[in-house]
Amino acid sequence: MQQLPHTAGGGYAGRYPLGGTLGSGGMGVVHLATSASGLRLAVKVVHEQYASDPEFRARFRQEIAAARRVSGAFTAPVVDADADAERPWMATLFIDGPTLSDRVRLNGPLNAGELVRLAAGLAEGLRDIHRAGVVHRDLKPSNVLLAPDGPRVIDFGISRPADSDLHTETGKLIGTPPFMAPEQFQRPRAVGPPADVFAMAAVLVHAATGRGPFDSDSPYIVAYHVVHDEPDLSGVPAVLVPLVRRCLAKDPADRPTPDEVMTELRPAITASTSLVPRMAGTATGPGAAAALSVEANDGAGADAAGVSRHGPPDGAAGAAREAATHPRAPRPAVTRGPAPVSRRRRTLRRGRVGLAGLAGLVVVAVAAAGYAGLRTADAEPGGRAGGASQAPAFHPWSTALRTGAGTSRTPVCTAGAASSGALYCSAPGVVAARLDAADGHVVWSVSGPGKSGTADTVAGDAGPVLSGGLLYVTAAADGGRLDALDPATGKQRWSVPLAGFPTVRHTADAVFLVSADGRSVRCLDAATGTVRWSRRLAARAGVWTDPGGAGPALYTVVPAPDGASSTVSALDPATGSALWSTGADGALTPVGTSGGALWALSQRPDGAADALVRLDAAGARRVRLPQPVDQAQATVAGGVAYVMSYAGALTALDTREGARRPVLWTLQTAVTQASRPTADAAGHVFVTAGDGRLLAVDARHGTLLAATPPRLGAQRSTVAAALPPPLVTAGGAEVVAPAPDGSVFARDARRPSDW
């Protein structure tokens, strides 16, 4: 696209009209812009003098690639870019918040609680960045944005993907001296993730004191101090000094990893989650760093940087309620204490408990509350003293399933009938296993080179399938085969090879095999495996089924050659004949059925989903998403669609025709590589994260109710190749989730607050 001239307050970057200037640096200018759909963007346009420099263009391409590789939960996601334009540019989502540099300059140093949240957010962000194979190499206060829900790391201009062919030139200094690690001065080609940990610690010192740990007016003296001298940590809260000192170790091998930083911060994170105001709030000054109090949450308005803040309800109790129900940690967490809020406030007012002491008290309180909760659950049905519920007590459980080595695939499971009390799971090294849903023990297991679930998937996330009274799994043996097993014993009833027909779909009484070219469908009787019919399709199609849906259960989706539209047909499962056919804009990916219609996500040519489409014999109806969603996953339940983005935004949409307010709510979960959402009948939405966490969300209000700890196992850098969604067992008593560490675990679906 022809690019118009750029000016300070006009012109275009590609198709985006440029607005006011957000900032300017040595390499370019950042403008505010708005996309055609109303999305606010920050557009970086390089200075004209660098546009003709081939090396700069190469580095700018690297910046774009690096920014795209990392998750948007802790960064500013890339929306569009053109490194080959007359003046290269990159557009990212606009993050509404000041830089840490501006925050400290205008409001003074952060207090202890704010520092804890900042440290946790930066550590979690670096973990995500490093998992993507990227080393930032220029983490500094001006590259940290303080969003209301946690810090964001920006500017990957000199970052280096681990597999990049672009190397640092010998003798060229890359980075900002006060925040560079010793190895960046000594051996820049060997810089790895520990350099970012060093920079994170230097950023924390700056946030706590207004200066760096190796300050000097001369960058050469700074470099000498970094390489040879000990850091100046005066003014850093005592609770953070040991951790910061470890992060500033001269030897990269002596520094903790981001995961280890988060583990060490965990007690303080738990304390600060509900007691510390958002970081973009009113300055508290260095003197407030010695103690935390709930009073710090009172007040509202705008800070000196001009950033609007939404304060909690009026009064002390309102502040405590706001803190308890809307935690503002960099990633969701749940805190529980044994005392009522009002009594806890009085205690804190009298004692002014310091950060270290408060963290210890909270850890003890959480442990005591957990123990008391279990005792209460044992003594009284329903787990609540004096409660009206007579549901049996629930005991969380976890079962390790994966036996295959060197794989990042998680187990996948399917719930059996309510009367069976069974779960059926597959995992690497386990073709199928039956678990008792009450306590997770393995009733039977079939070992072998099993895949992570069957081929009957929407996004690689479905488990073994029950159909026709049998359990179906795909096995990798013999070039791939479909096995029908007895659900009670695991014994094989029948088996068919999958050669040439690798995709398997199911309905209540039939199995459909789809050829590799998407042109042929073969229908088998679910009980016997005999062929009912075969059909050759007119065009290459995706075939989809929904065994639990009403109306037609077999659909084909044929995309147009240019990907701009799709044709959807409903087939009669008994004969394969067409029942109806309709077209819709976009490349369609089915997500479920509701009211006899098929729901699908509509994707633009760039792969981002921009709408949900309802398709039936009457035609197609679109429900537009508030903004394009990258790698979207969705579930439709009870007239509401829950759409999850890779960057962690969960949005609820009213899918009814003529809905006055289609967007019901949006929750920023800070989850990366999220699963497809699962909704239950009790008003909960469950999502699993790439690190094995299970999240529960209030489906009515869009508030986070609970989150379990990560489950990554021994390999802390594990990233699941596919992330199955959680499932709610028949009867709705428990929610079961898989994890990258190879386990399957269950929590009480009725009372997530007890997790």
- What does 285-307 look like in DSSP terms, one character per residue? -GGGGG---GGGG---EE-TT--
Contacts (Cβ under 8 Å, ≥6 apart) of 156: 63, 66, 67, 70, 75, 134, 136
pLDDT digits (tens, 9 = 90+) for 77-123: 889 999 888 899 999 999 888 999 999 999 999 999 999 999 999 99
**Predicted pLDDT of residue 22:** 85
Judge contact between 447 and 429, C-beta under 8 A.
yes
Using a 10 angstrom Cβ sphere, with 0-12 exposed, 13-18 middle and 19 or more buried, the burial of residue 309 is middle
3-class secondary-structure state, position 267: helix
- Of the candidates 81, 52, 54, which has an alpha carbon nearest to the alpha carbon of residue 65? 81
Q: Give the residue from 153, 150, 127 showing the smallest Cα distance to 259.
A: 127
Residue 43's pLDDT is: 93
Which pLDDT score, from 0 to 100, does residue 695 have?
A: 96
**Which residue has tokens 């190469």?**
58
| Three-state SS at 150 | strand
40-46 and 28-34 strand pairing: antiparallel
Q: What is the DSSP code string of 487-529?
A: TTT--EEEEEE-TT--EEEE-SSEEEEE-TTS-EEEEEETTT-
Check: CB of residue 401 under 8 Å from CB of residue 745. no
> What is the C-alpha separation between 639 and 586, in angstroms, rounded?
22
Closest CA to 149 of 278, 275, 57, 324: 278
CA distance 22 to 95: 11
pLDDT of residue 538: 84
Buried b / exposed e along 354-389 (16+ C-beta atoms within 10 A): bbbebbebbeebbeebeeebeebbeeeebbeeeeee
Regions of the chain where pLDDT drops below 50 = 1-9, 161-173, 273-389, 405-407, 450-461, 716-719
Q: How confident is the model at residue 88, as a pLDDT?
A: 92
Ramachandran class of 428: left when φ > 0, alpha when ψ lies in -120 to 50, beta otherwise? beta
pLDDT at position 324: 34
Q: What does the alpha-carbon distance between residue 35 and residue 38 come to, in Å, rounded to a whole number?
A: 5
- Which whole-number Å values give the CA distances from 74 to 71, 92, 578, in the listed order? 7, 13, 47
Strands 520-525 and 510-514: antiparallel
- Contact between 462 and 473 under an 8 Å Cβ cutoff? The reply is no
Q: How many residues does the chain have?
A: 755
Q: State the pLDDT at residue 635.
A: 94
Q: Which residue, among 705, 717, 713, has the nearest Cα to 742 in the 3D structure?
A: 713
- The two beta strands, 430-436 and 422-427, are antiparallel
Q: How far apart are CA 178 and CA 175, in angstroms?
A: 9
pTM for the model stands at 0.54
CA atoms of 546 and 144, how far apart (whole Å): 45
**What pLDDT score was predicted for residue 39?**
86
d(CA 7, CA 48): 11
- DSSP H helical ranges for 192-251: 193-209, 219-228, 241-247
Helix (H) or strand (E) run with residue 683 in it: none
Instruction: List % helix, strand, coil for the chain (3-state, nearest 5).
Output: 25, 30, 45
In sequence order, the 6+-apart residues with CB closer than 8 A to the CB of 360 are: 267
Alpha carbon 297 to chain centroid, angstroms: 28
Identify whether the C-beta of residue 196 lies closer than 8 Å to the C-beta of residue 136: yes
| Neighbouring C-alpha atoms within 13 Å toward the C-beta of 630 | 18
Is residue 392 within 8 Å of residue 419, measured between CB atoms?
A: no
Q: Which string of DSSP letters, residue by residue, matches 587-627?
A: EEEEEEEETTEEEEEEE-TTS-EEEEEEEETTEEEEEEEEE
What's CA 299's distance to the chain center, in Å?
31
Through-space distance between the first and last CA atoms of the chain, rounded to whole angstroms: 52
* pLDDT for 196: 95
DSSP 449-490: SB-SS-S--SSS----EEETTEEEEEE-GGG-EEEEE-TTT-
